[in-house]
Structure 1
Amino acid sequence: MSKRKIFFILFPLFLGVAIYFLYRSRNLFYFKIFTTHPVIYSYVIKIRDIAWLYRKHLPLWTVYSLPDGLWLFSFGAILLLDRFFYLLHFTVFTAIYIFMVALEFLQKRFGGHGTLLGTFDKLDILFFTLGYISIVLISNFFHRRDKKHSSEITLVSRRKEIVEDIKYCFIFTILGALPSLF
């Protein structure tokens, strides 16, 4: 995995987790990880207290919608960057984006505050869309610039990339669900 791909995956993912960790409820999974470690927990509380001093200066979308867009961007980076079968991965990623937007509309119909499904927010759709468009543009640029040789493309490499996609989808589904499950 290239340094570029690692950066485009981990930076937005860690930034989104940091936002959850610093500014969201203490009942979320990311915060509960630290409650089991008393030494670390005291530092975590201090860091959150300092971060909360600046919370009033942040727009609500940075706390509630931006992490969703960062998660989708990161997901797209792992699926689209440095891949042989770009069109296949683009199709998978587009299906995931459509599913996420459809899930928001399901939240409008069946969700609400305090439900497992969550709460509908137009800004979530906006940030999903921004994350989707930005990683598609970035990955398309790199795909065109770093054109792979046809000699490198084999049935084995195609199968390998499909298996990787399945693993990545499983991992990112867990990462996306963790904040709200506990």
Structure 2
Amino acid sequence: MKKVILHVILPIFIGSMIYILFREKTLLMFDWFSYLKLDFIIDFLRNNFYGYRMYISKSILFSLPDALWVYSFTMFLSIYFKNRILLSVIFIGSIITEISQLWFVVGTFDIYDVIYMFALYLIAMYFIKKFEEEKKL
């Protein structure tokens, strides 16, 4: 359970907090918060943290949350699937989607997205291998 919290829930939480605290309020999720009557909590958090945005690099604000999603989802799937090729589908799909933004997928291609996703995918693969070796002992 500790591994699930650390490698699945925590990365999603960190990525979500980056979005909630520092991204623009024009994102659709802020409409959802308002609909759910959570906007007062979100506004309180943003009022207390948004000022720190200028100290955080743009690559962390805009690229790290997606990479954390790739990491978290890869780690989550590793609980149920041991096939590394299947686990790589998340990473490959994310990279293809990012590169496709150059031509026909709505969005803005950013090389930092690719770099962060690749780095966190490698870290996920490292931990998956480490956990497999620990089970063998």
Q: TM-score, normalised by structure 2?
A: 0.89
Which of the numbers 116, 127, 130 marks the counterpart of 1:141? 130
Alignment of 1:76-115 (within 5 A): 76-81=74-79, 83=80, 86=82, 88=83, 90-111=84-105
How many aligned positions are there? Answer: 137
User: Unaligned regions of 5+ residues in structure 2, if any?
Assistant: none
Deviation at 1:37, TM superposition (A): 4.7
Which of the numbers 108, 116, 136 marks the counterpart of 1:119? 108
User: Which of 1 and 2 has greater Rg?
Assistant: 1
The answer to whether the 8 Å contact 1:20/1:30 transfers is no
- Which residue does the alignment assign to 2:14? 15
Alignment of 1:1-182 (within 5 A): 2-38=1-37, 40-81=38-79, 83=80, 86=82, 88=83, 90-111=84-105, 117-147=106-136
Q: Distance in 1 between matches of 2:63 and 2:3?
A: 25
Q: SS of the counterpart of 1:108?
A: coil
User: Unaligned regions of 5+ residues in structure 1, if any?
Assistant: 112-116, 149-182
Q: Distance in 2 between matches of 1:43 and 1:95?
A: 36
Q: Deviations over 1:73-94 (max 9, x none)?
A: 100110114x5x52x2x21121
Change (3 A) 1:47 1:143: same
Q: Which runs of 4+ in 1 moved over 4 A?
A: none
Q: Deviations over 1:90-144 (max 9, x none)?
A: 2112122112111111101224xxxxx2110000001110110001001110111
- Sequence identity percentage: 28
Q: SS of the counterpart of 1:146?
A: helix
